[in-house]
Amino acid sequence: MPTNPTIGVFDSGFGGLTVLRALLPRIPGAHYIYLGDTARLPYGAKSQTTIARYAVESARFLEQRGADYLVIACNTATALALPEIRAAVSIPVVGVIEPGAKAAAAALIHKICHPEPSAKDLLSHPGDTTQSVLVLATQATVHSHAYRNACAHLGLHTTEKACPLLVPLVEEGWTDHAVTRDVLRIYLTEALSLSAPQAVLLGCTHYPLIAAEITAMLRTLGSSAEVIDSAEATAAEVARQVDISPLAETAPATFECFATDSVEKFQRLGSHFLGQPIPRVELLDLGG
């Protein structure tokens, strides 16, 4: 009889809890170990060598702790250190970028089979027949072009738009707020002036918390693009890799959380990202 799987989920902070939230209902009986390397965030401004070292330390901790699978729920670590992480552990590793790109491709194929172009799409870019994706992400993720490269492998044309204010707005708790809508209007107007995307890919683990606001603003601006949540796409990819058939009758999934600093902040802010209270966070020292 197979034992229930243990799945390690790693992020530089608590944003990756949106990936854990998407995972929890998908694999019955699974146990999740979430590690937020909060003492060393943000990874975005650091060099590739430093990020790879940090990510490998975290990946090894999760493997030693008993993880059978590893989810890198961090765009920066996925973009800059996925090969190093895969080389450092002996368990399957799923990053957050490729599943997002694949979900965008699937959405576009669906749109080609069931086209519903808006008047704005046709009017503003009448000669543009390219299947194009707009990627919204942090400055660091855009700078890495990791989504553009992953989408290019699938034959998709991408426009990448850095949205530096969205993470602090979400962390301030202003998810349903006039200022956030104003900022979205500015960012999305700029992005839509450059392309007429059929899909908008949320390339940051904070953005699922304002997915509804992003969709609403796209509609206001005349775009019918489908919004793709890479947290959901990543969870779906993990569920495909884990054989859940023998587990159908087991108990609900469970989870435990580790953070490398500021346990209180992790608990307070993290519960918004997870969509449920986090009863306990354990402090972990991974060094300087």
Active site residues: 74, 204
Q: Which regions of the chain does DSSP assign to beta strands (E)?
A: 6-11, 31-36, 69-72, 93-94, 132-137, 157-162, 199-202, 226-229, 254-259, 281-283
**Residue 88 Cβ vs its own copies, minimum distance, rounded to whole Å:** 17
User: Quick check: 175 binds its own copies (CB under 8 A)?
Assistant: no
User: Taking the complex as a whole, how short is the minimal distance between the CB of residue 53 and its own copies, in angstroms?
Assistant: 8
CB 123 within 8 A of CB 152: no
84 near its own copies, judged by CB under 8 A: no
| Residue from the set 46, 102, 161, 206 that interacts with its own copies by CB under 8 A | 46
Report, in Å, the least distance between residue 48 CB and its own copies: 11
Cβ-proximal residues to 126 (8 Å cutoff; 6+ apart), any chain: none
Is 182 near its own copies (CB under 8 A)? Answer: yes
Q: Which residue has the tokens 């059929």?
A: 198
Angle at 37 between CA 172 and CA 75, to 5 degrees: 75
The answer to whether the CB of 19 falls within 8 A of the CB of 82 is no
Q: Which stretch binds its own copies (CB under 8 A): 99-107, 113-121, 180-188, 226-234?
A: 180-188
Which residue among 25, 117, 168, 279 contacts its own copies (CB under 8 A)? 168
Binding site for its own copies (CB under 8 A): 38-39, 41-42, 45-47, 50, 53, 164-165, 167-169, 171-172, 178-179, 182-183, 186, 261-262, 265, 287-288
